[in-house]
Chains A and B, each alone.
Chain A
Amino acid sequence: MSRYLARRILGAIPLLLGIATLVFFVLAIAPGDPATYLIQPGMTAEVVARIRSNFGLDQPLLLRYVKWLGAMLTGDFGYSFSFGRPVLDVIRTFLPNTLLLSGCALVLSFVGGVVLGALQAARQYSKTDSVLSVVLLFFYSMPSFWLALMLMLVFSVFARSVWHWPFWLPVSGMTSMDYASLGLGGRILDRAWHLVLPTVSLTLVLTAGIARFMRSSMLEVVRQDYIRTARAKGLPERTVVFKHALRNALIPVITLAGLYIPLLFGGTVFIEYVFSWPGMGKAIVDAIVARDYPLVMATSFLFAAMVVVGNLLADVLYAVVDPRIRHG
């Protein structure tokens, strides 16, 4: 088992390196450069040249690459222009928010997807199965940003201003304006209240995908010989399904969850944008638009790194669940 893990971790390192390289060179060949942000019209060529050399932009590409790589390894991600703070600072502020959002969404969609998928498979050919199939496919085909807007429309905008419901959900941000004045219980409630719509928007689409996959995985497993053996032993059907079938059906779903992580982060970008959630997704979009290169490079790399780590975790989970991997 530990050999398997060691191999995986060792494999991840060149991957991360490759990604960092990819990021650097994509940004390097782009027109314009970090200095453009600071260059005002009317500056003399001398000043421009000095600004450029300040950022080391007059040095050869490879040298810059090596320097940047070295800096990254020591934790120096550079300075963000658009925020006026070191990049590490910016990341430290925004990353937890994104992790909160995507973490909740991942857990909820995994649990929800597994449960729904298993339910569908257990009741194959029934009405529940057909109805769920349609509904899930519907959500699976939905762009998350549109779902977010529609949910906002119903539960925030219309609920409050048109239908005058007693309860509605907030449109933006992580906390209310009077957050500081709330007690601990109030703060937790306030955070939860703000977390609902973004999480739900992100979760629904992912759940649909996982449920579909889980369903087909369960149907595949239930047809296997060892399920027939379990029944022949006299086990109650519930045990057959939830103990024997489920564990086997979960195995491919776990790998799927690993593949879903990049999608999750992509979706997070939209959700954060729509709900003005102060997270990495929104930060990176703003940074790209503002040509804030250091921030862009650092956040892109970070995103990819999180994906790699997520896949690693999925691999670990995979080995835990499937003894065939553990014992080679």
Chain B
Amino acid sequence: MADETIGRRTPILERLLSAVAPGLPQLLAGRWGGGLAALSVWVWFLWLVLTRPGRVVAASAGTGEQRIAVATVVAGLVVAWAWSWRDLQARAAGASAGFGGWRATLDSFSRNRSARLGLLVVLLLGLVALVAPLLAPFDPLRPGELLTERMVGPSAVHLMGTDQSARDVLSRLLYGARISLGIGVLAVGIAVTLGTLLGAVAGYVGGWVDVATMRLVDMVIAFPRLVLLITVVALFQSSVVLIVVVLGLTLWPSTARIVRAEVLGVREREFVQAARALGYSRRRIILRHVVPNVLAPVIVAATLGIGDTIVLEAGLSFLGQGIQPPTPSWGTMVADGRNNLLGAWWLSTFPGFAIVITVLSFNLVGDGLRDALDPRHRP
């Protein structure tokens, strides 16, 4: 194929290309996924560093989040460059990546174009969230010139306009990414961990433990998640930690149900019976043998769950019960624009659009994972 011949024909040219623009040789060889990711990260971060060198330098000695941003930029550049270099080496030597049983899954996933696109966007969003302090053109919290810059529509200076306190919408949007993604990932992390453990125990042990756990699960699932969220947040002082915890606590039951169903199926398989015959403790069997085999649907559910959680957090903030102003959450930003639909449509439109793109990408990845992991779903 094309990449083999390139590797053998012009190795020097390729290496040179990779040294200057990592990802480009892979892109030219038709390998869109890795090539595009590496190249876009490289170009983007280089542009960042070159267009605002002073700011970058200042940030490396600044607050924690600023230093994280600088570290991300540096790490991103290094990783992109190194990956491209090592990838060329591997190709030339004829090696191919692959880690056993996951190979088929990886293959199927890589062939799914929309899933790859989703993954790319998720990755970029994650990087945006980390790099926001360096990326944002304006300070998201500082009000601008109230007289002249209030409620200005999208322009060259303010790409997405300004809000009622003359703050740049784009900058707030970028910072909002941290909130939304951070909360989403953390909450789902809690939910998945809790749900997997409880579901696995319930499914494996059975008996009254199972019955009790499932009753609890039914109760929490029956309750409209939003209502519970609003209630708890309104009653106990709203804070980011509380929101994350409650979001996690309302999501674990659905994971638990999935895991329990899978465990029931796996429990009677031979390798579990063999483990039992060898005298392994129940804890060991559950943790080391059962759980790894039920992870597939959990991963899918987790990915899709991040999207749902982001929407839920946005909704909570929209109602005024979530993240409190002036912290920019996409939800609060949409709420800000609600009363100004006629005069300043951009206030609600852009943040909402950001939510849609983010959730869409997570859903694409989740769908792709589901198709890849379930052999029956493949076309």
Which residue numbers of A lie inside 8 Å of B, CB to CB? Answer: 14-15, 18-19, 22, 26-27, 30-32, 125, 137-138, 140-146, 149-150, 152-153, 157-158, 161-162, 216, 220, 259, 262-263, 265-266, 269-270, 273-274, 284-285, 288-289, 296, 300, 303-304, 307-308, 311
Closest Cβ–Cβ distance, residue A171 to chain B (whole Å): 9
Task: Let me know if B222 and A262 touch, CB within 8 A.
Answer: yes
Closest Cβ–Cβ distance, residue A237 to chain B (whole Å): 20
Cα distance A22–B377 when bound, in Å?
Answer: 39
Cα distance A266–B367 when bound, in Å?
Answer: 24
Closest Cβ–Cβ distance, residue A211 to chain B (whole Å): 14
Most buried by A among B223, B236, B348, B352: B223
Q: B235 at interface (Cβ–Cβ under 8 A)? A: yes
- CB-CB under 8 A from B237, the residues of chain A are 31
- CB-CB under 8 A from A308, the residues of chain B are 222
Cα distance A69–B348 when bound, in Å?
Answer: 44
| A–B complex contacts, Cβ < 8 Å, 9 sampled | A30-B236, A137-B367, A149-B334, A149-B338, A216-B377, A265-B226, A266-B224, A270-B318, A311-B222
Cα distance A191–B236 when bound, in Å?
Answer: 39
Task: Let me know if B222 and A141 touch, CB within 8 A.
Answer: no
- CB-CB under 8 A from A259, the residues of chain B are 221
Closest Cβ–Cβ distance, residue B211 to chain A (whole Å): 11
Sample of 18 further A-B pairs with CB below 8 A, known A145-B334, A262-B222: A22-B223, A26-B232, A27-B235, A31-B236, A141-B363, A142-B356, A142-B359, A146-B334, A153-B349, A263-B224, A265-B226, A266-B225, A269-B227, A273-B319, A284-B227, A288-B321, A303-B224, A307-B224
Q: Which of B232, B342, B356 contacts A161 (CB 8 A)?
A: B342
Q: B202 at interface (Cβ–Cβ under 8 A)? A: no
- CB-CB under 8 A from B314, the residues of chain A are 143, 146
- CB-CB under 8 A from B228, the residues of chain A are 26, 300
Cα distance A42–B218 when bound, in Å?
Answer: 46
Task: Let me know if B235 and A31 touch, CB within 8 A.
Answer: yes
Interface of A is mostly: helix
Task: Let me know if B355 and A304 touch, CB within 8 A.
Answer: no
Q: Which of B219, B232, B355, B364 contacts A15 (CB 8 A)?
A: B219
Closest Cβ–Cβ distance, residue B339 to chain A (whole Å): 11
Closest Cβ–Cβ distance, residue B254 to chain A (whole Å): 9
- CB-CB under 8 A from B17, the residues of chain A are none
Task: Let me know if B235 and A149 touch, CB within 8 A.
Answer: no
Q: Which of B235, B315, B363, B377 contacts A270 (CB 8 A)?
A: B315
- CB-CB under 8 A from B215, the residues of chain A are 14-15, 18
Cα distance A289–B334 when bound, in Å?
Answer: 20
Known A153-B341, A285-B319; judge A146-B348 contact (CB<8 A): yes
Residue on B with the closest CB to A138? B360
Residue on A with the closest CB to B377? A216
Residue on A with the closest CB to B361? A141
Most buried by B among A145, A146, A270: A146
Q: B93 at interface (Cβ–Cβ under 8 A)? A: no
Cα distance A98–B230 when bound, in Å?
Answer: 18
- CB-CB under 8 A from A31, the residues of chain B are 235-237
Task: Let me know if A149 and B231 touch, CB within 8 A.
Answer: no
Task: Let me know if B341 and A149 touch, CB within 8 A.
Answer: yes
Would you list which residues of chain B between 177 and 220 have a CB under 8 Å from chain A? 215-216, 218-219
Cα distance A284–B364 when bound, in Å?
Answer: 34
Known A262-B222, A269-B227; judge A149-B337 contact (CB<8 A): yes
Closest Cβ–Cβ distance, residue A135 to chain B (whole Å): 11
Closest Cβ–Cβ distance, residue A277 to chain B (whole Å): 14
- CB-CB under 8 A from B376, the residues of chain A are 220
Would you list which residues of chain B between 58 and 89 have a CB under 8 Å from chain A? none
Task: Let me know if B355 and A146 touch, CB within 8 A.
Answer: yes
Q: B311 at interface (Cβ–Cβ under 8 A)? A: yes
Most buried by B among A14, A18, A32: A18
Cα distance A152–B349 when bound, in Å?
Answer: 12
Q: B138 at interface (Cβ–Cβ under 8 A)? A: no
